Amino acid sequence: MSGERYELGRRQFVQATGAGVAGAALLSAGAGTTAGQQAREAPDEDEYEDIIAEMDGDGSKENPYVVTDVVELQAMSGETSARYELGNDIDATATADWNDGAGFDPILAPQQTDQDDTQQSTRAFTGELAGNGHEITGLTVERPDEPGAGLLLANQGAVVDLTISDATVSGDVAGILAASSSGGLRGVTVSGSVSGGTNVGGILGTNRGAIAECDATVEVRGQERVGGLVGKNNGNVGGSTVDGSVEGTVDVGGAFGTVSGTSNLGRIDATTAVTGTERVGGFVGDHSGRISGSTATGDVSGEQMVGGFVGESWGQLLGVTAQGAVDGTENVGGLAGTCYDRIRACSVHGDVTGTTNVGGVVGWGSAGSVVTQVYTLGSVDGESAVGALVGLLGWEFFGEGDTAKLRRGYWETGATDRQPVGLVNAGNGTVSVDEETLSGLGADQFVGTDAPSRLSAFDFEKQWRAVSDEAPVPRAQAPSTFEITDGPTTTITVRQDETFSVELGIENTGEYGGRQTVTMVVDGEAFASIEQELDAGESATVTLSELQASELPVGTYSFRVQTRNDAVEGTIEVQNALPGGTDTPKETDGTTPDEADGDGPGFGVGSALVGIGTGLAVLARRFGPDTDE
């Protein structure tokens, strides 16, 4: 390293000058909680090894490297499989002038002589980065002509409890944290602006991993597959939020540009203004997975397939809400522009304006659509095929076996005088409209705890919750809060030929009753689970019993017992079944950071993300098929 290239951070300065304890104390007094290093130029790649060697720690699970300044942050590219943690807040504003204005070089393992630029996945960050609640401020990554941009280029590891604020990121595929990720994120918060071409998101450009409890306050601009959280999502996401604005052309959404059929999303709130052209939604542009218990708030505008929640839906929407004005041309809906699957227990609060196939809930209900237990509070205006609930239900080219269904719906008569369906066209298929369960009501009839007596077609026991001074809320959006009041023993010793039990006390401290899954996770993998239902204020003792120690090789493991809201951790030692028996060593080859032992940050990520999967599964089971479908 050279002092002519950049100013030394406080620790390096002491090492280089021998300033001693007194000098270090003076530097500490002036430094505050943010590292003092302001690097005028980026370090060279051949300096990374030396920079890492001077950092505290050794990159192991027990002793992670400690990153204290932006130069050390950049040097992480020199060892992308190690474990890192931030030792303080990091000022990265100097990166705006790095590399002739291109800024920070996304963290990626050095390219080997036998690799080309298309082999980024083999050079991904596979380690762990724990922010420890610290913040990286002013990061700039301006690489519009390069394939990816973000703090990380490709993530296959774990990132937890990290904040990146006031970031500016630009690339073809771009996200403030990473261009792409197949690893795990928990507790990541970002703010700033992101721009790019295809697959552009506030946190990630593309996601094939798991995301828990992450938040974004962003302005996102792109062309195709553009979202406030993720541009292209193929993973599970839960308990996250996004605020800001999103602009694009095709597949544009307040939280996600596209969501694949393998994705499970739950309890995500998007508060964004969304603008696009085709497949534009307040939450997601093009959706094929399962979304439950989520909301989209903000105005949405586009041309074709425009919805307050989703532009085009090939997947299930369960217990979601759209709130805001929706404006488009063709296939425009307060919730979904076009629908090919199930919509259940969903609500719309906002006006809808379009030209053709315009509906208060769905613009076009095509083959396979089932719209049930829905209501809308807002006006609906258009020129042809305009309905209070659905614009066009069916299609003239329906074949034999194609179906579309509408039942159990309400709309506000003071806002629209339209019929529930603008146009029904069965073609050679079947279109079902259950008129006896469809009704227009005055605005005041939706409000209050006595609303169930007027909205009798709704299932208030399982799907809806009546609220004082408000319209009904999907139960998926009014969750319980299960706190652990009496945890299990933190050290368990058991032989492989024995069974064991884990017992803990749980209290529902939330405002509403509900059901949650209590899960035991061992080394990042779900080991056992049980469902528990509690009313508000109710407590219970939960026991995971008859657990088979034989399912674990001999060794010592970290475990975590968790609800959706709380968790306790401990260790379990599995001993030989018989004295003198042959040990079965714990397998470690091929494990990912999410499956690692529990001392490091990866254990928390793996466990939390297992919780996402089980929690979303519970939400999904709550919305089983109606008996009349």
Is residue 276 in some structural domain?
A: no
Please say if the pLDDT value at position 183 is more than 60.
yes
Q: Are residues 522 and 468 in the same domain?
A: no
Is residue 222 in some structural domain?
A: no
Q: Are residues 519 and 567 in the same domain?
A: yes
Say how far apart CA 433 and CA 436 lie, in whole Å. 9
pLDDT of residue 116: 53
DSSP 564: S
Is residue 628 in some structural domain?
A: no
Between residues 565 and 301, the one the model is more confident about: 301
Between residues 331 and 609, the one the model is more confident about: 331
Share of the chain above pLDDT 70, in %: 84
Between residues 248 and 517, the one the model is more confident about: 248
Out of 96-100, 295-299, 435-439, 509-513, least confident range: 509-513
pTM for the structure as a whole: 0.83
Q: Are residues 352 and 388 in the same domain?
A: yes
Please say if the pLDDT value at position 163 is more than 80.
yes
Q: Are residues 522 and 612 in the same domain?
A: yes
Domain count for the chain: 3
Q: Are residues 511 and 603 in the same domain?
A: yes
Q: Are residues 70 and 35 in the same domain?
A: yes
Is residue 574 in some structural domain?
A: yes
Q: Are residues 463 and 486 in the same domain?
A: no
Q: Are residues 411 and 503 in the same domain?
A: no
Helix (H) or strand (E) holding 514: strand 514-522
Q: Are residues 498 and 354 in the same domain?
A: no
For the stretch 295-339, pLDDT in tens is: 999 999 999 999 999 999 999 999 999 999 999 999 999 999 999
Out of 22-31, 395-404, 563-572, least confident range: 22-31
Q: Are residues 572 and 446 in the same domain?
A: no
What's the average model confidence in pLDDT over 239-254? 97
pLDDT of residue 57: 97
Domain boundary among 158, 180, 202: 180
Q: Are residues 465 and 505 in the same domain?
A: no
For the stretch 400-448, pLDDT in tens is: 999 999 999 999 999 999 999 999 999 999 999 999 999 999 999 999 9
Report the CATH number that the domain containing residue 555 is assigned in CATH.
2.60.40.10
pLDDT of residue 127: 96
pLDDT of residue 212: 93
DSSP 247: E
| CB neighbours of residue 579 within 10 Å | 7
Please say if the pLDDT value at position 14 is more than 50.
no
Mean pLDDT of the chain: 86
Tell me which residue range forms the domain holding 577: 482-621
Q: Are residues 437 and 536 in the same domain?
A: no
Domain boundary among 478, 513, 542: 478
For the stretch 514-536, pLDDT in tens is: 888 999 999 878 899 999 999 88
DSSP notation for 435-492? GGGEEEE-GGGG-STTGGGT-TTS-TTTTEE--TTS--EEGGGS---EEEEEPPPSEE
Domain boundary among 130, 149, 180: 180
Judging by beta carbons within 10 Å of its beta carbon (0-12, 13-18, 19+), is residue 31 exposed, middle or buried?
middle
